Amino acid sequence: MSDTRFDPASADARWQSAWDEAQTFRADSDSPKPKSYVLEMFPYPSGRIHIGHVRNYTMGDVLARYKKATGHEVLHPMGWDAFGMPAENAAMEKGVHPGGWTRDNIEHMKAQLKRLGFALDWSRELATCEPDYYGHEQALFIDLYEAGLVYRKESEVNWDPVDMTVLANEQVIDGKGWRSGAEVEKRKLNQWFLKITDFAEELLDGLEGLENWPEKVRTMQANWIGKSKGLEFSFDLSNGEKLPVYTTRPDTIFGATFVAVAADHPVAQAVASRSEEARAFIAQCKRGGTTAAELETAEKLGFDTGVTASHPFTGAELPVYIANFVLMEYGTGAIMAVPGHDQRDFEFATKYGLPIPRVVAASADAADKPFAGEAESGEGVLVNSGFLDGMAVEDAKREIIARIEADGRGQGKTVWRLRDWGVSRQRYWGTPIPFIHCTACGVVPAPKESLPITLPEDVDFQTPGNPLLRHPTWKHVDCPRCGAKAERETDTLDTFTNSSWYFLRFASQPADKPFDRDEVAKWMPVEQYIGGIEHAILHLLYARFWTRALERMGMLDVKEPFASLFTQGMVTHETYSRAEGGKTVYYAPDEISREAERALLREDGGEVEIGRVIKMSKSKKNVVDPDTIIDTYGADAVRWFMLSDSPPERDLPWSEAGIEGCSRFVHRLWRLFAAYDGGAKGDDKALDRKTHQTVAAVADDIEALGFNKAVARIYELTGAVEKAAPSASRSLAIRTLVQLAAPMMPHLAEEAWAAMGESGLIADAPWPAVDPALLVEDEVTIAVQHMGKLRDTLTAPKGASREDLEAMALASEKVQRSIDGAEIRKVIVVPDRLVNIVT
């Protein structure tokens, strides 16, 4: 082989175009091979590839290439989650069109991905912002509507009175609009919803079958769905009405010292109609945030309505408050408050001087133990609770539910935390919701033939508000039902809808419908899905919901989209900063010269502070640019670094020394490959064993996504080959190393494969075969005798069974010649030593 240096700059580009030309990674739906669908979460085209993408996609790539080598027809696609707010923000800030901005970013990022040599089927590339994607999504949305899974209802939004626009939750900062700084108001608007709650039970139960998902993701989803068993019962109020409340702790009922309702509750509204003070209080509640987390931490505020509620067992009259921590959308919007055992109630009672009795204690004799400044929500026995005294919590729950049900006051009930999914966004850069409002016919779905309903191009972002709403012509259409003048819906869909079915469109891309059921069935479910833990809840839950909904509608044959899920760790780096003019200014690693104990800013030699090793992020400037490192070290070194050292689920600290080491290893392997001599003679049994064992182990590691282990084994085999003397075994080991490295360092491997005189691409070559006999650690030499005379010697795996040794001995030609057809009377086997045949 040649002794030139390996030059990534030329080799990378050369092999990338060779794969492109040969369409090496094009997935064939009609292939008879077993299918394997490997998918990484598709990126948002923000402008540049982030190092986190590089890590995620490298992992998927190794698996995809390995699956191909092991005889699978692999689908490994890539696309763009291309709708969303950053494009609109760019439009507002830079005066560019969101479409142009997004498409430029896609072009740039695609080129970056290509430089990494990923084995992707680019023929299936899709961008969710293109009509040939979102038009099909509109069709699916209409299908969901027709299946009864889409509806409209009034619901609260964050309204920025200055920008005259609805804000997403993340655009509300400390109760103010992120751009205008104006105090955000809550407004009721008609919004579109998807009925995910219809699937709550299924989505929860389905988690059990997902054994190949991380436990923590399953737990997070289960908590989000939030099934709770409790009791709904009614208090009799002093005004003669009944007030239903919901509790998950009916056992604590003797500890209830007040009752509270949400600001929107009819009881609160009734009080407000009579009291100016109550109206002011309710208005104040509405200014605060409404998320559960905000309510948890906000100061607890209440307004005494003057109404009282009669305790069902003691008859005590409990005050009824309007309280800011009670949500209208959960349970009944009213609670029995038990300050001793619920933290929110505890804070409230402390503030308003209400009694805090104990009704659960560690033991019966701790009934009067004071609280240590907070509520106790744990297990124990009931105390100060009349007929419940001495009972365990679970027994007491059952007892109360039974008595309340017997009285006809209420019923045991299951409540879900999961809410229906509000998908309306008052924004431009999203899928237009395919409905038409007609004064005569109401809400009418757009006819399917009219899809895609495309976004107008001529929009301006300098005026506040939704560009679709103010566009002069776009929304004006004739009603598809009665032909009268009507208006299009101007809301667009939440971008999470785009990522809820993209994996189906990758599997099948007909022009006239979202996907073909039979073709999808060939690929789905995704065999391995890889992405960030930040998508543990919403994206994965929504994708599971769409899949189940489409299955129920008879459009799909799978219920769960992702058979295995892997959440990779982050790429991290220390930060560099110093205070300048009262602000903390961050510096990028390439602006710093790092010494053992300190870090200096190259520009002025001044010392900067070394911060914690944290996730790479633009705001902290602790990032490395993938393009720069590919330029410097080549794609294979970068890929190798992404796989080395850290287990893939853990964080990977970026280091200059680390990537340099990887680059050195690429060249070291090249030198070894260059020493390949196809004609070398002689064998080296120990090396053969090592080679075969490494092949088997690397395969197991890749299947288990233990890439760092596979990397370590390749290092080890490399070391062993370097030490070995030339032999046929050594040549085989070198050839095998090229194959083992191929999924990880595909450019180097192709270059070596070609230089060794192999025909075809290594990307198309099968995974090296393993001889099981060579996987056994030790071999022994067995003497084979006939009538006590040595006739042959055999090499057998250590510990081979008597039967195997006997069979091997009888298979020996020399032994057969010696026996010469005589009748065998007895075979004596001494394991690991000898076989003697008696005739």
Indicate which of Zn ion, ligand ANZ, none lies near residue 730 (CB less than 5 to 8 Å, by partner kind).
none
- Site mask for Zn ion (CB under 5 A), range 425-444, x = bound: -------------x-xx---
Angstrom distances, CA of residue 354 to CA of 218, 314, 350, 582, 823: 40, 17, 6, 46, 102
Interface map 373-392 toward ligand ANZ (x if CB under 6 A): ----x---------------
Q: Is 233 in the site for ligand ANZ (CB under 6 A)?
A: no
Which amino acid is residue 12, in one-letter code? D
Q: Looking at this protein, which amino acid is placed at residue 330?
A: Y
Size of the site for Zn ion (CB under 5 A): 6
Choice between 239 and 377, CB closer to ligand ANZ: 377
Tell whether residue 249 is a contact of ligand ANZ (CB under 6 A).
yes
Q: How far apart are CA 30 and CA 38, in angstroms?
A: 17
| C-beta closer to ligand ANZ: residue 332 or 547 | 332
The CA distance from 157 to 579, in Å, is 39
Closest residue by Cα to residue 90 from 134, 46, 44, 126: 46
Q: Please report which helix (H) or strand (E) contains residue 190, including its range.
A: strand 185-194
- Choose from ligand ANZ, Zn ion, none: what does 336 bind? Cβ within 5-8 Å by kind: ligand ANZ
Count of other CB atoms within 10 angstroms of residue 765? 17
Does 247 help bind ligand ANZ (rule: CB under 6 A)?
A: yes
Structure tokens at 584: 């903390």
Q: Which of 101, 159, 193, 246 binds ligand ANZ (CB under 6 A)?
A: 246
DSSP 401: H
Among candidate residues 429, 567, 566, the one with its CA nearest the CA of residue 495:
429
- Pick from Zn ion, ligand ANZ, none: which does 482 bind, CB < 5 to 8 A by kind? Zn ion
Residue 807 contact, options ligand ANZ, Zn ion, none, Cβ 5-8 Å cut-off depending on partner type? none
Whole-number minimum distance, CB 14 to ligand ANZ, in Å?
59
Residue from 482, 521, 686, 807 that binds Zn ion (CB under 5 A)? 482
Q: Which of the listed partners (ligand ANZ, Zn ion, none) does 327 bind, with a CB threshold of 5 to 8 Å by partner kind?
A: ligand ANZ
Question: 599 with 576: CB under 8 angstroms?
Answer: yes
Q: Is 338 helix (H, G, I), strand (E, B) or coil?
A: coil
How far, in Å, CA of 269 to CA of 263, rounded?
Answer: 8
- Tell me how far, at minimum, the Cβ of 325 lies from ligand ANZ, in Å: 6
SS3 letters across 773-834: HHHCCCEEEEEEEECCEEEEEEEEECCCCHHHHHHHHHHCHHHHHHHCCCCCCEEEEECCCE
For Zn ion, the closer of residues 157 and 486 by Cβ is: 486
SS3 444: strand
Q: Which stretch binds ligand ANZ (CB under 6 A): 114-122, 327-335, 457-465, 524-532?
A: 327-335
Cα atoms in the Cβ-side hemisphere of radius 13 Å centred on 538: 12
Name residue, tokens 């220390």: 574
Residue 479's binding partner, choosing from Zn ion, ligand ANZ, none, with beta-carbon cut-off 5 to 8 A by kind?
A: Zn ion
- Binding part of the chain for ligand ANZ, among 127-135, 329-337, 535-543, 757-765 by CB under 6 A, reads 329-337
Nearer to ligand ANZ, 35 or 249 (CB): 249
The binder of 326, among ligand ANZ, Zn ion, none, by C-beta within 5 to 8 A per type, is ligand ANZ
Contacted by 342, from ligand ANZ, Zn ion, none: CB < 5 to 8 Å by type: ligand ANZ
Interface with ligand ANZ (CB under 6 A), residue from 52, 333, 743, 768:
333
As a whole number of angstroms, the distance between CA 271 and CA 819 comes to 109
Q: Is 166 in the site for Zn ion (CB under 5 A)?
A: no
Task: Examine residue 162 and tell whether it contacts Zn ion (CB under 5 A).
Answer: no
- If contact means CB under 5 to 8 A according to the sort of partner, which of ligand ANZ, Zn ion, none does residue 252 touch? ligand ANZ
When asked if residue 213 is in the footprint of ligand ANZ (CB under 6 A), the reply is: no
Residues 6+ away with beta carbon under 8 Å from 247: 230, 231, 253, 335, 336
- Residue 303, φ and ψ in degrees, nearest 5: -135, 120
Half-sphere exposure of residue 698, counting CA atoms within 13 Å on the CB side? 33
254 scored as a contact of ligand ANZ (CB under 6 A): no
What is the smallest separation between the CB atom of 75 and ligand ANZ, expressed in angstroms?
A: 41
Report if residue 111 touches Zn ion, rule: CB under 5 A. Answer: no
**Is residue 228 a contact residue for ligand ANZ (CB under 6 A)?**
yes
Distances (CA, A) of 819 to 636, 793, 807, 835, 836: 59, 16, 14, 14, 12
- Does 361 sit near ligand ANZ (CB under 6 A)? no
Asked if 822 is part of the footprint of Zn ion (rule: CB under 5 A), the reply reads: no
First-last CA distance in the chain: 56
Among 110, 136, 341, 573, binds ligand ANZ (CB under 6 A): 341
Cβ 146 to Zn ion, closest distance in Å? 18
Residues that bind ligand ANZ (CB under 6 A): 228, 246-249, 252, 325-327, 330-331, 333, 335-336, 338, 341-342, 377
